């Protein structure tokens, strides 16, 4: 400790905002922070304690923002300065390896934007929408507590570790700090999460586009538009990103507006009025073709378009919520906290903590935080802004999604999100069932909202995207356009989600292909050559086949697929967060900073408890709606008795349902085993670190102030 204190004394801190914040304990600053805390407490009280009457969304926004500021000012500063011991004197990889390309010292605000754009995606938009079935309060509490104590801590710590190791990837760091076997297990975990992530995201798109000619036409149009942009920026006006993006956005808006004409013309509309199975096969085929095309043609231009649209729309939604200040119609807590909800099965613990993954804590971010960002950090004292701050911003996106889902009438929310097997297929049936649950809704309200947004029906449009689109249309049309433009806003929201999900599907398939090639390549070395066309095709087919299998299974699932797949995705994502936090804990022990290790141990413990309980229940629960084995048994018994249960129509389909259940159970078991193995390796590494009196963390680069670090 004395060395570290000494080091702190000798620092030059001119212009360093975080140090100024510590030292600037003037009266004004104290008053300011007292006011922020008071405002946060009051708004939070209004949000949490209101019963019966609806609450204005503005209170939720104010409460969250106050919590973010307090967490950033106090807890994040504590983690950066005390727990990690960031060293402003230490040269970052951006300076050490400066090449003007990958390693470039970059202004912190510019880098913040880069990092935020890299971590933000569909996850924080979908999870809270699904969690809203329990009311706005349980999900909101987990989003806020999760981000402050788990998600942002993980992002900041991994970013710190990677910055001290030349921007190495998570897998590399696990290998060097915890041994090659642990590294291998972590990579298997990453591959599994990729497969499930791609399947569930593709399913969100399929669910949003089923029977929607307007949406399908618009989303299909993005492919030729992106190709046109790709050719423009690569051959006609090389590298003119702004020109190309303007062309793309104008064409996209034209496709969006023209989509209504298409949907109103029955002859053309039938071409885009597709069933789920057809859409799934189209997306699978598309994923394969897209992943073998050159990147500049489709992936890169669409990535540009989706990035700008994503950031722009999120900003627009924030402005919309602040200006419109909608009322939250959903009760704070609904009766479904007992686990009988229609949107997803399972009780509040552990499944709420699985359902909202991104937005509170996302393992995927540990891959991004150990990617390109650490290679551009100017100074270690900026890690807090970029690692912790960007994650807080992402969490705010999740809060906006929660607002989007809860400003809709609860009855309409449940009509959109409940599977057809529960609420039937007509507005009259659905209204009756949902009113029976205690959420009053009339068939007229259901037809009216579908007509307002320009769809035939909104019943059972599970997956979160349509709900969020209705919520966004509600908020944004309150700002401009009113009811007349609601259909346009709805399809704009669908387009915006589909666009960046398809980009993820494309890029993720490439990553999965590389990982498969790398793993198979360790047995068959010739398979490793990523430039070979044969390997490329086989690898892509394997990657697409893996997620395509789960996608198709989800589409034909009578419970809507999201019901089965989203918890699996949540478990895998939290599992990866668990792995990342175990690594962080191990390294803190190896750095001899174990007195602060509770900062990562507490969230690790919580995530492991949640993932292991959820994984266990998914396999062994006696409730067929939760446990895969119990579900398989119900179908197995029926099959043995010669009966056929819906959705299966033939005995062969019955058998397929049973096989799918066992595949899902095996996958859950794999997740549980990966987690258990990582815990064992973590404990071994910590014991070894405690037994060694020296610092054993393997950092790269010269430590400016802390002697004794072993150099590798």
Partner 1 sequence: MPDIMTMKEWTIRTARLMVGIPDYQTYVEHRRQTHPDAPIMSYEEFFVERQNARYAVGKGRFRGCC
Locate 371 and state its tokens. 């990617």
> Out of 295, 297, 316, 638, which residue is the one contacting partner 1 (CB under 8 A)?
295
The least CB distance from residue 356 to partner 1, in Å, is 12
Beta 327-328 vs 55-56: how paired, if at all?
A: antiparallel
In the window 339-378, what residues touch partner 1 (CB under 8 A)? 357-358, 362, 364-365, 367-368, 370-372, 376, 378
Contact 385, 112 (CB under 8 A): yes
The least CB distance from residue 228 to partner 1, in Å, is 16
The least CB distance from residue 502 to partner 1, in Å, is 10
Nearer residue to partner 1 within complex by CB, 309 or 689: 309
The least CB distance from residue 307 to partner 1, in Å, is 5
Nearer residue to partner 1 within complex by CB, 103 or 489: 103
- Rounded CA-CA distance 266/136 in Å is 40
In the window 520-559, what residues touch partner 1 (CB under 8 A)? 530
Q: Which residue has the tokens 């050559």?
A: 529
CA distances from 468 to 43, 144, 478 (A): 24, 20, 15
> Out of 258, 308, 349, 598, which residue is the one contacting partner 1 (CB under 8 A)?
308
- Rounded CA-CA distance 263/647 in Å is 29
User: For residue 423, what is the enclosing H or E element?
Assistant: helix 420-423
Choices 149-157, 273-281, 347-355, 499-507; region in contact with partner 1 by CB under 8 A: 499-507
Q: Which residues contact 220 (CB under 8 A, 6 or more apart)?
A: 272
Nearer residue to partner 1 within complex by CB, 293 or 428: 293
The least CB distance from residue 114 to partner 1, in Å, is 4
Q: Which residue has the tokens 């395509």?
A: 548
The least CB distance from residue 398 to partner 1, in Å, is 12
Show the DSSP H helices in 407-479 as ranges.
Answer: 410-417, 420-423, 427-436, 443-452, 465-479
φ, ψ (nearest 5 deg) of residue 24: -80, 60
Q: Which residues contact 401 (CB under 8 A, 6 or more apart)?
A: 124, 125, 126, 127, 128, 129, 359, 468
Q: Which residues contact 341 (CB under 8 A, 6 or more apart)?
A: 133, 134, 334
In the window 554-573, what residues touch partner 1 (CB under 8 A)? 569, 573
From residue 126 to residue 165, what is the string marking binding to partner 1 with x (rule CB under 8 A)? Answer: ----------------------------------------
> Out of 60, 507, 559, 582, which residue is the one contacting partner 1 (CB under 8 A)?
507
Q: How many residues bind partner 1 (CB under 8 A)?
A: 70
φ, ψ (nearest 5 deg) of residue 127: -50, -55
State yes or no: residue 307 binds partner 1 (CB under 8 A). yes
Nearer residue to partner 1 within complex by CB, 172 or 653: 172
Residue 180: how many CA atoms within 13 Å on its side-chain side? 0
- Rounded CA-CA distance 577/476 in Å is 34
3-state secondary structure of 711: strand
User: For residue 87, what is the enclosing H or E element?
Assistant: none
Nearer residue to partner 1 within complex by CB, 336 or 500: 500
Nearer residue to partner 1 within complex by CB, 132 or 505: 505
The least CB distance from residue 176 to partner 1, in Å, is 13
Nearer residue to partner 1 within complex by CB, 345 or 503: 503
> Out of 18, 19, 92, 106, which residue is the one contacting partner 1 (CB under 8 A)?
106
How many other C-beta atoms are found inside a 10 Å radius of the C-beta of residue 238? 8
Q: Please, what is the Cα angle at 182 between 177 and 184, to 5 degrees?
A: 115
Choices 150-158, 410-418, 507-515, 683-691; region in contact with partner 1 by CB under 8 A: 507-515
Nearer residue to partner 1 within complex by CB, 74 or 109: 109
State yes or no: residue 239 binds partner 1 (CB under 8 A). yes
Buried/exposed code over 82-121 (b: 16+ C-beta within 10 A; e: otherwise): ebbbbbbebebbbeeeeeeeebeebebeebbeebbebbbb
Choices 47-55, 112-120, 384-392, 664-672; region in contact with partner 1 by CB under 8 A: 112-120
Buried/exposed code over 672-704 (b: 16+ C-beta within 10 A; e: otherwise): bebbebbbebbeebbeebeeeeebbbbbbbebe
Q: Which residues bind partner 1 (CB under 8 A)?
A: 15, 98-102, 104-107, 109-111, 113-114, 117-123, 167-169, 171-172, 197, 201, 233-234, 238-239, 241-242, 295-296, 299-300, 303-304, 307-308, 311, 357-358, 362, 364-365, 367-368, 370-372, 376, 378, 500, 503-508, 510-511, 513-514, 530, 569, 573
């Amino acid at each position: 400790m004395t060395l570290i204190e000494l080091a702190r004394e000798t620092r030059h801190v001119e212009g360093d905002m975080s140090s100024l914040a510590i030292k600037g304990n003037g009266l004004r600053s104290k008053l300011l922070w007292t006011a922020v805390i008071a405002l946060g407490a009051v708004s939070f009280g209004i949000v949490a304690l209101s019963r019966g009457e609806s609450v204005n969304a503005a209170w939720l926004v104010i409460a969250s923002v106050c919590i973010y500021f307090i967490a950033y000012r106090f807890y994040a500063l504590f983690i950066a300065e005390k727990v990690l011991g960031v060293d402003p004197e230490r040269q970052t990889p951006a300076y050490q390896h400066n090449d003007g390309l990958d390693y470039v010292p970059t202004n912190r605000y510019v880098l913040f934007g880069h990092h935020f754009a890299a971590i933000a995606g569909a996850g924080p938009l979908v999870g809270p929408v699904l969690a809203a079935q329990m009311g706005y309060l349980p999900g909101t509490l987990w989003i806020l507590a999760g981000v402050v104590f788990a998600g942002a801590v993980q992002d900041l710590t991994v970013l710190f570790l990677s910055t001290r190791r030349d921007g190495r990837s998570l897998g590399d760091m696990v290998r060097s700090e915890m041994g090659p076997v642990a590294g291998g297990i972590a990579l298997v975990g990453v591959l599994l999460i990729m497969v499930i992530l791609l399947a569930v995201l593709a399913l969100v798109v399929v669910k949003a586009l089923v029977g929607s000619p307007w949406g399908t036409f618009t989303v299909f149009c993005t492919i030729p538009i992106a190709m046109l942009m790709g050719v423009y920026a690569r051959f006609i006006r090389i590298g003119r990103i702004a020109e190309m993006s303007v062309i793309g956005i104008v064409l996209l808006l034209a496709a969006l507006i023209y989509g209504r004409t298409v949907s109103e013309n029955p002859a053309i509309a039938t071409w885009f009025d597709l069933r789920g199975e057809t859409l799934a096969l189209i997306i699978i085929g598309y994923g394969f073709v897209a992943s073998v095309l050159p990147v500049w043609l489709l992936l890169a231009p669409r990535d540009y378009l989706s990035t700008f649209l994503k950031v722009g729309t999120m900003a627009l939604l924030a402005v919309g919520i602040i200006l419109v200040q909608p009322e939250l119609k959903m009760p704070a807590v609904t009766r479904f906290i007992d686990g009988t909800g229609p949107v997803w099965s399972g009780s509040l613990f552990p499944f709420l903590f699985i359902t909202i993954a991104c937005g509170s804590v996302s393992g995927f971010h540990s891959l991004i935080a150990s990617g390109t960002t650490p290679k551009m950090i100017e100074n270690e004292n900026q890690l807090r802004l970029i690692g912790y701050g960007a994650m807080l911003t992402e969490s705010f996106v999740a809060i906006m999604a929660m607002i989007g889902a809860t400003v809709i009438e609860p009855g309409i929310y449940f009509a959109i999100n409940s599977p057809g097997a529960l609420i039937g297929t007509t507005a009259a049936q659905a209204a009756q069932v949902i009113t029976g649950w205690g959420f009053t809704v009339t068939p007229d309200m259901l037809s009216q909202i579908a007509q307002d947004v320009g769809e035939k029906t909104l019943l059972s449009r599970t997956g979160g995207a349509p709900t969020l689109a209705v919520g966004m249309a509600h908020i944004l049309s309150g700002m401009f356009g009113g009811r007349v433009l609601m259909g346009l806003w709805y399809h704009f929201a669908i387009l915006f989600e589909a666009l960046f999900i398809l980009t993820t599907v494309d890029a993720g398939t490439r990553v999965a292909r590389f990982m498969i090639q790398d793993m198979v390549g360790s047995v068959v070395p010739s398979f490793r050559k990523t430039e070979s066309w044969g390997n490329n095709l086989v690898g892509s087919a394997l990657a697409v086949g893996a997620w395509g299998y789960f996608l198709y299974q989800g589409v034909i699932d009578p419970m809507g697929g999201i019901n089965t797949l989203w918890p699996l995705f949540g478990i895998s994502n939290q599992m990866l967060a668990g792995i990342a936090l175990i690594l962080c804990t191990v390294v803190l022990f190896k750095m001899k900073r174990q007195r602060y290790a509770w900062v990562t141990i507490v969230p690790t413990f919580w995530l492991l408890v949640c993932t292991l309980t959820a994984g266990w229940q998914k396999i062994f629960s006696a409730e067929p709606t939760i446990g895969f084995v119990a579900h398989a048994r119900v179908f197995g018994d029926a099959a043995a008795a010669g009966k056929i249960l819906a959705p299966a129509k033939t005995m062969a389909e019955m058998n397929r349902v049973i096989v799918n259940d066992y595949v899902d159970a095996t996958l859950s078991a794999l997740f549980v085993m990966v987690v258990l193995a990582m815990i064992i390796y973590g404990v071994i590494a910590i014991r070894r670190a405690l037994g060694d009196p020296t610092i054993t963390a393997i950092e790269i680069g010269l430590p400016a102030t802390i002697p004794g670090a072993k150099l590798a």
